[in-house]
Structure 1
């Protein structure tokens, strides 16, 4: 376990070496440093994990040094290993390593190869700091680190101005959430006198006893911070636009790192949320609305990566539904399962894009199952896991656990809200099946519209093969070990009484049946009635509906009207510094007076006499007026 710090150190060293070398390094050297550093990080994560599990400890803390000390506030650079951080560390380094291997193949020939891997290494290091930190100050450092790296990677192809704007948008929107998180940190420090995570989790029940308002606002600020990173309504608009970055970036952000940070934070500080039940309900409602909005948006997207982006947003909605229902372990296991199949889907989409000469429009593809059969198989398994196809995919074991837990929470707590949320989740599963089948059918079947070439290379098929296996039922075998790890980390399991088990199983079976019906509807719409679908899309109602869904219900347009345009107007008005200009009135008056008096210096005796006479007359009038007023 003493090697724990090396899991963070190796990616940092890789970042430094690649940053110094930049364009001086060959692609092979950059790949060896970039991939190798994360590979070593994954290796030492395994060593630390085996040592930790074998030791029987529940928590291990490695103190490196004290960050700073200001009036007793002395956060340390300390790494904490428990069941939750071990799960996150394994997911980040394991899936991240596979994505790095694939990226070494995908990015060949691109300008800035070493620069790309330097950002990639820093991204992994920042995320590891985030999940291993034993205090919220250090966690926030990692939190901001992944925000910076997302900006750098989303805007990697900076020659295109639209990519730069997408990067700025992602950075700005997530910073809004970060402001709320900072407020939460201030509140926590004010209430606990520390930002040490274990202290906060342990003493939350005592500190917040009788202080419901404080608990409410602290929990709400924490969640809004999490919502920004995990792209939940109303801070979800950045995620789809982030697809302009290289495809491995999309895989890393969506599968193993940035977007999972919000789920991790809420689970890590779960006792704070439990002291504010209204916030827990709000979290579940937010997740449910997000998964529904994202599901509808994914139905009509034409960019292969944007479809997967909206599916990520939707799956994160399921995770937050679970957190709000206090089914933390179900949400975290779905996060792990999602890391497997979403990495598989994004990397497979990258292979499709390269095979089709960087084409991303699914309607310009078609007939690819013959040209790239292995990628087709990966898409089928990944899409099946996304749609939670029963028994054969890992998504079945994780998503149904969430829906069952939400239904059970409504039954056991006698809160009808959660029964409604269960049906929203089922509706989301129905939509997921439809848009997943639509994606696979249009890309891989039908007439070939873009000539695709075969793709080869061990660095392409090896990571896909591993993710392929983990996305099947094989990944489902991890459920029990993960549950044991999380229980040891004091992340409670959602326990279902025996008398309620039958009803819960019926609810889970219902969700499976609805998802399969959605698959059948997808087959009917896009195989047998596709002409009718296209005809409907050309009607005034269909075109309007497609426009609304394509723009994800117009949140971008709304924010443009409510926030962007007023801000630009404000900037235009105050960009010229009106306060400074107001003070310029005084010298302007003096200058005008000087100009006027100077113009009166004519040298004409007649004008001087007239002016003096006029002045005398004015003075007499003033004196007479004063005397009259005095009487």
Structure 2
């Protein structure tokens, strides 16, 4: 496994080649390098996973070179592969490869085809560096890398000012969380003298008792970083606007990369959260509230991509809820299935948008199940998995595990369970509202273009995975298969359920009944009669943007205007004024008259000779 460095190196290399030589290799070469670099990284990941399990290893560490050495503080460029990083690496490379292949069709007519793939490769490489990092500083390098790439890709069509504004919003809002995370790293260095993950997790129980104020503060600061990247309350406002980027970017951000970084961070530092019950409970509360609020917002959107954006916020909320109740492997299970069905839905939405000449308003669609039958079936499979249709979808098994453990884990609560099943009801409603609006009813916009095989084949693969991936982990009532949790056991603590089999059947029945009830209500009442004010409030994301505008943006802009001519500005203005004065003096000597130049040379010669003579006689 000495070659695992190729997993992040190949996408980085692909990005470098595309930046430097894209004009020479042409569009076909760009496609091969852009897709091939990620595809080969996916194959290497599979090989590394096979070797790790075949050799019975819990982990493998590969030091590459020393990065920083200051006294006893040493940080290396070191890669660490274990069950958790392998699960994330597989999803990033495999789903990322399918998105790249899909993009060759979706972006085929874009004049900046090469720049798009260069940014996509850079994005995948940064995310791989994040999850394979042996230490928190290298993880932070990847963390900031995905933030930069999200800015580049969300604002990819930069000629539209709205796209640039969305990119800046994503960059600035996530920087708020990143700042909190950076402070947490400083505190960890201060108290543990290291940023190596294994050393921190080993030292933490000896350094801090449960509930120690220091570890609680560190955990809360890490939550700040996690909610920023994963678009959870209160830093969720950037994600719906991120739909300004091309649809493959939305699929990559929402399914395989950026928004799952916060889930990875909390799972990776689980020891710190176990030592901080208040912080871990906060994670659960954030997840429960977020999944409900985002679900309500998804229920009233008109743009198909914004429905899926709010859906992502809601589903990440389920993962945070699982982390908050100590169901670590359940969160990773839902991350895996969510990556499959959400990538499928975003790419399916992209196929619809391209077919309708870039129309995104669901109320201008309709009747597409006949004109786009292939897209209809794969989109229906992804929607069924998102809505957790029982027994036949991957989303049912991963979400059911979270719902069950939200109630019966040692840190669980009936309130968490109520939030989770209510979220399942809302999810079914907004998901099939989208299906019925797009594929049923009267045709409002005719299909102008049918997606090719390079767009459809990735959808078929993801449709299969969105169906079968759930069978790697089955509940007690349906066979009790624990392949994933057993695989993650060396890295993540197990969680014990204190509920009975009868209670589990009741929980599953309630969740399934609510999902079907949500579908039935939407089928009977496609336009749910919400009050106009409430509908607009939900559509605007519960007014968070307006609140932040009044609380932070406007006061900051006003203070900037008041402080426009402060002392610091006067210093630089003075320097500029002096420079301009010297410029005017010197430019006055450039008159263009030869006699003045000759006189200047003569006078200079006289001065020089005078100085020489004076030095000789003094």
Matched, 1:554 2:543: yes
Partner of residue 145, structure 1: 145
Partner of residue 610, structure 2: none
1:500, distance to aligned residue in structure 2 (A): 3.2
1:116, distance to aligned residue in structure 2 (A): 0.3
Q: Determine the C-alpha separation between the residues in 2 that align with 1:65 and 1:583.
A: 42
Which deviates more from structure 2 when the two are superposed, residues 503-512 or residues 249-258? 503-512
Is 1:177–1:228's contact at 8 Å kept on the other side of the alignment?
yes
Question: Given the alignment, which residue of 440, 445, 459 partners 2:440?
Answer: 445
Alignment of 1:110-125 (within 5 A): 110-125=110-125
1:368, distance to aligned residue in structure 2 (A): 0.5
Matched, 1:569 2:571: no
1:501, distance to aligned residue in structure 2 (A): 3.7
Partner of residue 457, structure 1: 452
Partner of residue 274, structure 1: 274
Instruction: Mark the structure with the bigger radius of gyration.
Output: 1
Partner of residue 80, structure 2: 80
Deviations 1:558-610 (A, max 9, x none): 000000001111111112225666999xxxxxxxxxxxxxxxxxxxxxxxxxx
Is 1:2–1:48's contact at 8 Å kept on the other side of the alignment?
no
Change (3 A) 1:424 1:61: same
Partner of residue 469, structure 1: 464
Which deviates more from structure 2 when the two are superposed, residues 231-240 or residues 42-51? 42-51
Q: Determine the C-alpha separation between the residues in 1 that align with 2:504 and 2:363.
A: 41
Matched, 1:545 2:546: no
Structure 2, gaps ≥5 residues long: 475-481, 574-618
Question: Given the alignment, which residue of 483, 489, 511 partners 1:487?
Answer: 489
1:505, distance to aligned residue in structure 2 (A): 3.4
Q: Determine the C-alpha separation between the residues in 2 that align with 1:475 and 1:11.
A: 29
Alignment of 1:365-444 (within 5 A): 365-409=365-409, 412=410, 418-444=413-439
Q: Determine the C-alpha separation between the residues in 1 that align with 2:436 and 2:258.
A: 30
Partner of residue 233, structure 2: 233
Secondary structure of the 2:61 match is: strand
Q: Determine the C-alpha separation between the residues in 2 that align with 1:472 and 1:55.
A: 30
Partner of residue 602, structure 1: none
Secondary structure of the 1:224 match is: helix
Which deviates more from structure 2 when the two are superposed, residues 480-489 or residues 389-398? 480-489
Secondary structure of the 2:77 match is: strand
Partner of residue 342, structure 1: 342
Partner of residue 48, structure 1: 48
Q: Determine the C-alpha separation between the residues in 2 that align with 1:438 and 1:495.
A: 37
1:259, distance to aligned residue in structure 2 (A): 0.4
Q: Determine the C-alpha separation between the residues in 2 that align with 1:153 and 1:29.
A: 21
1:477, distance to aligned residue in structure 2 (A): 2.9
Secondary structure of the 2:369 match is: coil
1:8, distance to aligned residue in structure 2 (A): 1.0
Alignment of 1:546-625 (within 5 A): 546-577=535-566
Change (3 A) 1:113 1:582: closer
Q: Determine the C-alpha separation between the residues in 2 that align with 1:211 and 1:442.
A: 50
Change (3 A) 1:185 1:448: same
Is 2:355–2:451's contact at 8 Å kept on the other side of the alignment?
no
Cα-Cα RMSD: 1.8
Q: Determine the C-alpha separation between the residues in 2 that align with 1:118 and 1:382.
A: 29
Structure 1, gaps ≥5 residues long: 585-631
Partner of residue 600, structure 2: none
Q: Determine the C-alpha separation between the residues in 2 that align with 1:100 and 1:210.
A: 45
Partner of residue 605, structure 1: none
Q: Determine the C-alpha separation between the residues in 2 that align with 1:334 and 1:127.
A: 19
TM-score, normalised to structure 2, is 0.89
Secondary structure of the 2:450 match is: coil
1:269, distance to aligned residue in structure 2 (A): 0.4
Partner of residue 224, structure 2: 224
Q: Determine the C-alpha separation between the residues in 2 that align with 1:424 and 1:354.
A: 36
Is 2:211–2:277's contact at 8 Å kept on the other side of the alignment?
no
Is 1:333–1:398's contact at 8 Å kept on the other side of the alignment?
yes
Q: Determine the C-alpha separation between the residues in 1 that align with 2:131 and 2:569.
A: 48
Secondary structure of the 2:73 match is: coil
Change (3 A) 1:356 1:56: same
Deviations 1:4-26 (A, max 9, x none): 00111110110000011244542
Secondary structure of the 1:235 match is: coil
Partner of residue 254, structure 1: 254
Is 2:102–2:454's contact at 8 Å kept on the other side of the alignment?
yes
Change (3 A) 1:20 1:175: same
Deviations 1:133-170 (A, max 9, x none): 01000000000000000000000000001100000000
Which deviates more from structure 2 when the two are superposed, residues 355-364 or residues 572-581? 572-581
1:333, distance to aligned residue in structure 2 (A): 0.3
Q: Determine the C-alpha separation between the residues in 2 that align with 1:453 and 1:370.
A: 14
Q: Determine the C-alpha separation between the residues in 2 that align with 1:233 and 1:165.
A: 21
Partner of residue 301, structure 2: 301
Q: Determine the C-alpha separation between the residues in 2 that align with 1:247 and 1:210.
A: 45
Deviations 1:340-378 (A, max 9, x none): 000000000000000000101111111110111111111
Matched, 1:358 2:358: yes
1:476, distance to aligned residue in structure 2 (A): 2.5
TM-score, normalised to structure 1, is 0.87
Is 1:179–1:225's contact at 8 Å kept on the other side of the alignment?
yes
Secondary structure of the 1:283 match is: helix
- What is the aligned residue count? 567
Partner of residue 130, structure 1: 130
Alignment of 1:5-16 (within 5 A): 5-16=5-16
1:87, distance to aligned residue in structure 2 (A): 0.5
Partner of residue 610, structure 1: none
Is 2:387–2:515's contact at 8 Å kept on the other side of the alignment?
yes
Q: Determine the C-alpha separation between the residues in 2 that align with 1:550 and 1:298.
A: 8
Q: Determine the C-alpha separation between the residues in 2 that align with 1:13 and 1:177.
A: 29
Partner of residue 497, structure 2: 496
Q: Determine the C-alpha separation between the residues in 1 that align with 2:504 and 2:324.
A: 18
Q: Determine the C-alpha separation between the residues in 2 that align with 1:404 and 1:360.
A: 36
Q: Determine the C-alpha separation between the residues in 1 that align with 2:549 and 2:35.
A: 40
Partner of residue 190, structure 1: 190
Is 2:472–2:484's contact at 8 Å kept on the other side of the alignment?
no
Is 1:8–1:125's contact at 8 Å kept on the other side of the alignment?
yes
